Amino acid sequence: MHRPALARWSALATNLFPVWVLLAGALAMFRPQWFTWFSGPWIPVGLGIIMLGMGLTLRFDDFRGVLRMPWAVAVGFAGQYLIMPFLGWSLARLFQLESSLAVGLILVSCCPGGTASNVVTYLAGANVALSVVMTLCSTVAAVLMTPLLTAQLAGHYVPVDAWALFRSTLMVVLIPLLAGLTLHHTVPRLVHAVLPVAPLVSVIFITLICASIIGGSTAVLKQSALAVAGAVTLLHLGGFALGYLLARLCRLAPNDARTVSIEVGMQNSGLGATLARQHFASMPAAALPCALSATAHSILGSLLAGYWRWRQPRSGRPARPH
């Protein structure tokens, strides 16, 4: 297959990410053995590959982007690490989730922006450059913010080792991300060759992670499906709505506000699932809200992107395809 055709097919398959996650999750409910083999060390390895793929798309100039739009980045950062953790903690109490599900919901709410947010921002016709910089900033900061916030908010349910969470986040997020960034600049021809399929590889791994967790948690899901699905859905709906509201209150342009909304509402659910499996092994169901989160934010984000694209944004800086 020629490179342009490969790139088109890969892009099409990547944009169908919500469909793959939903289908795999549904299959995992009835044929868990098809996916539960992807467990143990495979999950952190899969997340590391996802973050490496994200790093391959980055440039050092993306770091300088923070200086070009500091206010918008600061607003998005505040939304990511204030709105989402507060929502996660509040919804866990509102729905009276059992401890393992509550910990999982809080954990995923304390994670950085999801890597799929850049694609959804592009589909929405919003500010892709801002989306990339926001994802980068929240991901780098997750090394500190995710362990600290999780320990503070989930400590009511179970003792949380913030230092162990820090080490794991460093290993599966920051190191692969920096490795990908380094490769982008040291072997550009190799990176250029693999970039057309890198997003699709990430989609495959996040789909396997989520389906594996759903397949291994079918009993819990059947017992608490309504509560946990409702809490996860409201987490992301609240993130989209409050992220947009915060951005407009801070006087960001409508297009930038849409970008902030998408970034705040979409979480790195793969990171949440990986950390849940590694650090809350005595609570296997803790990874379930993270797996459901990947499906929920992908579907809701795609629907939101379609609506905003249909509305044809009237202002905002031009988007940079990424």
Percent of all residues in the chain with a pLDDT value above 90, rounded to a whole number: 27
Residues 98 and 312: their CA atoms lie apart, in Å, by 43
Task: State how far Cα 234 lies from the chain centre.
Answer: 16
What pLDDT is recorded for position 3? 62
Does pTM surpass 0.85?
no
The residue-averaged pLDDT of 296-319 equals 70
Which has the closest alpha carbon to 69: 321, 316, 262?
316
Residues 190 and 109: their CA atoms lie apart, in Å, by 35
Rounded to the nearest integer, the mean pLDDT of the chain is: 84
261 CB contacts (<8 Å, ≥6 apart)?
239, 240, 241, 243, 244, 247, 304
DSSP-assigned states of every residue in 161-222 = -HHHHHHHHIIIIIHHHHHHHHHHHHSHHHHHHHTTTHHHHHHHHHHHHHHHHHHTTHHHHH
Among the ranges 128-137, 181-190, 237-246, 281-290, which has the highest mean pLDDT value?
Answer: 237-246
Residues 273 and 123: their CA atoms lie apart, in Å, by 26
Residues 272 and 290: their CA atoms lie apart, in Å, by 6
Helix (H) or strand (E) holding 134: helix 128-154
Instruction: List the beta bridge partners of residue 267.
Output: 113
55-86, pLDDT tens digit by residue? 887 777 777 777 788 899 999 999 999 999 99
307 CB contacts (<8 Å, ≥6 apart)?
none
Q: Is 320 exposed, middle or buried (0-12, 13-18, 19+ CB in 10 A)?
A: middle
149-203, pLDDT tens digit by residue? 999 999 888 888 888 888 888 888 788 888 888 888 888 888 888 888 887 888 8
The residue-averaged pLDDT of 253-266 equals 92
Q: Is 4 exposed, middle or buried (0-12, 13-18, 19+ CB in 10 A)?
A: exposed
With H, G, I as helix, E, B as strand and everything else as coil, classify residue 267: strand
What the block records as the tokens of 48 is: 């590391």
pLDDT for residue 273 is more than 60: yes
Q: Is 78 exposed, middle or buried (0-12, 13-18, 19+ CB in 10 A)?
A: middle
**Please, which pLDDT band fits residue 131 given cuts at 50, 70 and 90?**
confident
What pLDDT is recorded for position 6? 66
**Beta carbons of 52 and 179 less than 8 angstroms apart:** yes
Among the ranges 97-101, 200-204, 267-271, which has the highest mean pLDDT value?
Answer: 97-101
Task: State how far Cα 87 lies from the chain centre.
Answer: 16
**Beta carbons of 79 and 266 less than 8 angstroms apart:** no
Total length of the chain: 322
pLDDT for residue 313 is more than 60: no
